[in-house]
Copies of this chain bind each other. A is one copy, B any other.
């Protein structure tokens, strides 16, 4: 209704269903209070699109509710709008409505995103089967390192990172790029999927529990960026830090063995790297992350908890 009414109208094409998801980002929790406003807008949309992708749903539209600590600052809003426009273009969806409020607290942006999925084709998290291969898109741990670099810029020198490496890591934290081009491949091949937002291990654990199966992550196979490899080599972080760090916004999928080749082919055609990192096992095998020798790693904390420190600040 042209953003000028009390509601928006959303019509899913015949034969499709609407997938809906909502996620908030809050200054001082999910982004730095002095973050580039364009990155704030980008991330607010990206974290929601990430959920749609993992369900095999094509982004369509979104509603945004934004709370600001005072009267809107024109320059801030202009950068925010530009970042939102860029994210919309990257993810293929448009703003359908929203709400603006003043808050005595920090800036907070809540987006509800709508995606379209052919009827009966949504990819659930509870339908992984014993014997499925476990795949993840992109690389894992970069966002956690980007956050660490923002907190402690000296880490860059300590770990011998060049400017490009720093920019890759910080970019993954502040402007995540969930793999929107992977949607068709997930819909076609995945038996189950979810996005990696709270840490690979924690989210894999959730997927296995929802599916009532066991499973293993083969940690040496988890894909890392060159920058992440450099940080680990310089003892700036451990592998466990990376696989429990959170904010990856990549797609974790279980693929039946008969579909694995097709999944790899469709992903390659879409320009998205996917890597086999483990397998689904019987529930009795439990859930584990194993090293090259097959020995389970001891992991004290599997990922991000909304009610534990640390904040980003």
Chain A: residues with CB nearer than 8 A to chain B? Answer: 1, 4-12, 14, 17-24, 26, 28-30, 51-52, 54-55, 57, 63-65, 67-68, 70-72, 96-106, 108, 110, 112, 114-115, 117, 119, 122, 124-126, 194-195, 210, 306-307, 311
Contacts and interface: CB of A to CB of B under 8 A. Distances in A.
A100 B18 contact: no
A64 B21 CA distance: 10
Contacts of A7: 19-21, 51-52, 55, 57, 115, 122
A115 B108 CA distance: 25
Copy number in the complex reads 2
Given A1-B124, A67-B108, 11 more contacts: A6-B195, A7-B19, A7-B55, A7-B57, A11-B17, A22-B98, A24-B99, A65-B110, A68-B307, A72-B307, A99-B110
Q: Which of A30, A103, A125, A306 has the most CB of B within 10 A?
A: A103
A98 B48 CA distance: 11
Nearest to A14: B14
B307 A70 contact: yes
A126 B7 CA distance: 12
B65 A21 contact: no
A65 B19 contact: no
A12 B18 contact: yes
Nearest to A98: B22
A215 to B, nearest CB: 17
A210 to B, nearest CB: 6
A108 to B, nearest CB: 6
A136 to B, nearest CB: 15
A112 B63 contact: yes
B125 A26 contact: no
A36 to B, nearest CB: 20
B5 A126 contact: yes
A103 B20 CA distance: 23
Contacts of A30: 101
A89 to B, nearest CB: 22
Nearest to A47: B99
Contacts of A11: 12, 17-18, 119
